[in-house]
């Protein structure tokens, strides 16, 4: 990951010009429009708010300002200040309020401006919302969604307190569902599913992906929570990844095709509960596994994915499972240090070559 060649095969990976052709999810002939992920999320919110009067939004500066990333822009004008509710800077109580509203039958979609700040809300998320259903013997239901932008390297150098990927904090807590979409299509379909789900759902949005474009069907659709999505079929190597890292995997899969390496890409778009079967099946098929996550390496998601593959496919493994993950460091501000924090396409190429040559 710190090899000087890591950007050599970069496909503009860290910029929005990365080609959206890499992932096509809408069958030819289906009426669809190209949208950014931010637009797709906004559309999901608007459609669900239209459909169900119980759905409302709350968070800091989500009103006129549209949130830190403009995702809710226009919704305030459309739905008004009650249903697009600006809050004080009180993360724990924003989540607590969402829980309370959910308990009396509302379906709140709360936003925390950056996932990093959810450190202030961990009690309400992990101790209250996640546990109320079991703790009350089924009396309580907490149907909220908590949207949180995460991830680093927006080319913006936002440093240690605005760049983390923290899905593991949530995925480790039973009672929560954790989603991390990689495409506009997935973001829209999964967010709609999350809003309709009767459980607290953590919905993580990678900041770099907001401006990524992709086809989104005109027709309403809802995607299943709890399943991995095979983004590309292949026979030689499986890459298990989520969020932004899926694009690296797809770019490299295309790049290696002429070399005759057939890469299968499994997108863990539901981080938890984890779809162990799909990871197992793909690993059994290819016998070679690379796990890639942006979250910091130690005790990150990659260990769990690898363990699951091991449990499900040990006898099929032709090489040791490889992993790529975020450098185990707080994120530094300087460009020269931020480079190298997260896996790149070159790293993915290197790891796949390792697997093939083992």
Partner 1 sequence: MESLTTEFKLEMYRRMVRIREFELAAMDVFKRGLIKGTVHPYIGQEASGVGVCMALRPDDLIAGTHRSHGHNIAKGADPARMMAEIFGKEAGYCRGRGGSMHIAAFDTGSLGALAVVGSGIPIAVGAALGFRMQGKDSVAVPFTGDGGTSTGNFHESLNMAAIWKLPVIFVVENNKYAVSTYYRDAVSTDDLSVRAAGYGIPGVNVDGFDVLAVYAAAHEAVARARRGDGPTLLVTESYRIEGHYAGEPEVYRSREEVNAQRQKDPIVRFAEVLTSDGTATPEELQEIQSAEAARMVAAVEFARSAPMPDPATAMDYIYA
Ligand X SMILES: Cc1ncc(C[n+]2csc(CCOP(=O)(O)OP(=O)(O)O)c2C)c(N)n1
Active site residues: 91, 162
Residue 2 binds partner 1 (CB under 8 A): yes
Which are the contacts of 234, defined by CB distance < 8 A and separation ≥ 6? 253, 262, 263, 264, 265, 286
- Distance from the first to the final alpha carbon of the chain: 19
Judged by CB under 8 A, the stretch of 21-29, 97-105, 111-119, 193-201 that binds a second copy is 111-119
Residue 132 binds partner 1 (CB under 8 A): yes
Q: Which does 10 bind (CB under 5 to 8 A by kind): a second copy, ligand X, partner 1, none?
A: none
**Which residue in 50, 135, 218, 257 binds partner 1 (CB under 8 A)?**
135
Extract the tokens encoding 129: 């919302």
Phi, psi dihedral angles at 351 (to 5 degrees): -65, -40
Mark residues 92-131: x for contact with ligand X by CB under 6 A, - for none. ---------------------x---x--x-----------
Q: Which does 353 bind (CB under 5 to 8 A by kind): ligand X, a second copy, partner 1, none?
A: none
d(CA 270, CA 285): 21
Phi, psi dihedral angles at 14 (to 5 degrees): -95, 20
Residue 56 binds partner 1 (CB under 8 A): yes
75-83 and 37-51 are packed helices; what angle lies between their axes, rounded to 10 degrees?
Answer: 50
Q: Within 107-126, which residues bind partner 1 (CB under 8 A)?
A: 108, 116-117, 119-120, 123-124
Name the residue nearer to partner 1 (CB basis): 30 or 161. 161
Count, residues in the chain: 358
Q: Which does 16 bind (CB under 5 to 8 A by kind): partner 1, a second copy, ligand X, none?
A: none
Mark residues 178-207: x for contact with a second copy by CB under 8 A, - for none. ------------------------------
Q: Which of 78, 84, 86, 150 is nearest to 119 (CA)?
A: 150
CA angle 63, 165, 185 (to 5 degrees): 65
Name the residue nearer to partner 1 (CB basis): 70 or 320. 70
Name the residue nearer to ligand X (CB basis): 17 or 89. 89
301-313 and 276-286 are packed helices; what angle lies between their axes, rounded to 10 degrees?
Answer: 60
Q: State the maximum Cα–Cα separation within the chain, in Å, rounded to a whole number.
A: 59
**Which residues sit at the interface with a second copy, rule CB under 8 A?**
92, 116-120, 122-127, 130-131, 134-135, 159-161, 166, 168-169, 171-175, 272-274, 295-296, 298-308, 310-311, 314-315, 317, 319-321, 323, 328-330, 332
């Amino acid at each position: 990951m710190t090899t000087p060649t890591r950007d050599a095969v970069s496909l503009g990976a860290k910029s929005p010009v990365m080609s959206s052709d890499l992932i096509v999810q809408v069958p030819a002939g289906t009426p669809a429009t190209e949208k950014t992920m931010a637009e797709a999320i906004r559309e999901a919110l608007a459609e669900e708010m239209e459909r169900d009067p119980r759905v409302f939004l709350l968070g800091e500066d989500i009103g006129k300002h549209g949130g830190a990333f403009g995702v809710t822009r226009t919704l305030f004008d459309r739905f008004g200040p009650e249903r697009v509710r600006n809050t004080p800077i009180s993360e724990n109580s924003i989540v607590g309020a969402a829980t309370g509203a959910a308990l009396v039958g509302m379906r709140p979609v709360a936003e925390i401006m950056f996932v990093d700040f959810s450190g202030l809300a961990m009690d309400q998320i992990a101790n209250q919302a996640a546990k109320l259903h079991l703790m009350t013997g089924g009396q309580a239901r907490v149907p909220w969604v908590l949207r949180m932008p995460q991830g680093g390297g927006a080319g913006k150098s936002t440093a240690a307190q605005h760049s983390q990927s923290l899905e593991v904090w949530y995925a480790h807590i039973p009672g929560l569902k954790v989603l991390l979409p990689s495409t506009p299509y997935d973001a829209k379909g999964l967010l709609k599913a999350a809003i309709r789900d009767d459980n607290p759902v953590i919905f993580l949005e990678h900041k770099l992906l907001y401006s990524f474009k992709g086809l989104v069907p005109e027709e309403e659709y809802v995607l299943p929570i709890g399943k991995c999505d095979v983004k590309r079929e292949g026979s030689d190597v499986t890459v298990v990844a989520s969020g932004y890292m899926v694009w690296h995997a797809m770019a490299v899969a295309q790049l290696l095709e002429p070399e005759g390496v057939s890469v299968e890409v499994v997108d863990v778009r539901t981080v938890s509960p984890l779809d162990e079967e799909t990871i197992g099946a793909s690993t059994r098929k290819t016998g070679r596994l690379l796990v890639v996550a942006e979250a910091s390496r130690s005790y990150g998601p990659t260990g769990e994915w690898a363990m699951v593959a091991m449990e499900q496919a040990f006898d099929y493994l032709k090489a040791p499972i490889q992993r790529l993950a975020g450098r185990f460091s707080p994120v530094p501000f300087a460009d020269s240090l931020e480079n190298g924090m997260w896996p790149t396409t070159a790293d993915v190429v290197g790891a796949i070559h390792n697997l093939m040559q083992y």
